[in-house]
């Protein structure tokens, strides 16, 4: 196959953004820093460490490294309580339709996520076997919009970047895909993801003829 597909995880395959929000909200409340769902948008695609840095900037707080690390761990423990309860039902609507179609046609698939929890989440929802490679936050040093995560995925799929199609819900993720020279498909709001080559509200709007065309099947 000439073409490969790379998927972001949070907000594309599963709706874990709501759990990230609840865990950050819990910490923010504890620290007395206001935190809304709108602010949470800015955390999408952004590493855990960077999210806490931003939260503390909003709260005008500077803290010693040790305190920082404690809060970082606390947020993640909170998040993992939600993840632990996840089931296959939480795979977003019509995502399996696309994944199954690609698998049937033996199109290479990769995951490209900033999350260090990507593997346990995929395991929870039963999607590990679909991916030829899983590149996550434990393997990358440069965060989106740096294209590192997608370039590693392309290399592992043994495909040149220009033959890869990326599905992303974050502005930073679309930017990363574009910088890598890949075809970017935005999942979300057209106005927010205006730099994407294509944008769909969610997977229910994507028909298999479009996937077929992208995959050149």
- State yes or no: residue 163 binds ligand G6P (CB under 6 A): no
Contact partner at residue 175 from ligand G6P, Mg ion, none, CB < 5 to 8 Å by partner kind:
none
- CA–CA distance, 180 with 208 (Å, rounded to integer): 25
Touching Mg ion, residues 126-185 (CB under 5 A): 169-170
Applying CB under 6 A, among 117, 178, 183, 184 the residue interacting with ligand G6P is 117
- CA–CA distance, 189 with 58 (Å, rounded to integer): 25
Stretch touching ligand G6P by CB under 6 A, among 45-53, 96-104, 185-193, 195-203: 45-53
- The angle at the Cα of 85, spanning 109 to 122, to the nearest 5 degrees, equals 10
- CA–CA distance, 8 with 185 (Å, rounded to integer): 11
For 191, residues 6+ apart whose C-beta sits below 8 A from its C-beta are none
- State yes or no: residue 97 binds ligand G6P (CB under 6 A): no
Is 51 or 127 the residue whose CB approaches ligand G6P more closely?
51
- State yes or no: residue 44 binds ligand G6P (CB under 6 A): yes
How far, in whole angstroms, is CA 32 from its chain's centroid? 28
Q: What is the CA radius of gyration of the chain?
A: 17
- State yes or no: residue 54 binds ligand G6P (CB under 6 A): no
Please report, as ranges, the residues that interact with ligand G6P according to CB under 6 A: 10-11, 20, 43-48, 51, 76, 113-117, 137
């Amino acid at each position: 196959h000439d073409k490969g597909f790379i998927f972001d995880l949070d907000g594309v395959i599963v709706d874990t953004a709501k759990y990230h929000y609840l865990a950050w909200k819990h910490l923010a409340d504890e620290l007395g820093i206001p935190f809304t769902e709108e602010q949470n948008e800015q955390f999408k695609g952004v590493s855990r460490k960077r999210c806490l840095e931003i939260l503390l900037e909003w709260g005008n707080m500077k803290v010693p490294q040790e305190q920082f690390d404690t809060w970082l761990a606390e947020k993640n423990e909170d998040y993992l309580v939600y993840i632990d309860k996840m089931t296959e039902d939480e795979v977003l609507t019509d995502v399996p339709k696309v994944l199954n179609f690609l698998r049937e046609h033996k199109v290479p698939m990769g995951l490209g996520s900033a999350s260090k929890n990507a593997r346990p989440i995929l395991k929870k929802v039963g999607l590990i076997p679909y991916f030829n490679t899983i590149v996550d936050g434990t393997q990358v040093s440069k965060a989106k919009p740096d294209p590192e995560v997608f370039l590693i995925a392309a290399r592992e799929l043994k495909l040149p970047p220009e033959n890869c199609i990326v599905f992303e819900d974050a502005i930073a993720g679309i930017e990363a895909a574009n910088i890598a020279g890949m075809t970017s498909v935005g999942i979300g709001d057209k106005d927010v993801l205006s730099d994407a080559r294509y944008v769909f509200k969610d997977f229910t709007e994507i028909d298999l003829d479009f996937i077929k065309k992208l995959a050149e099947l």
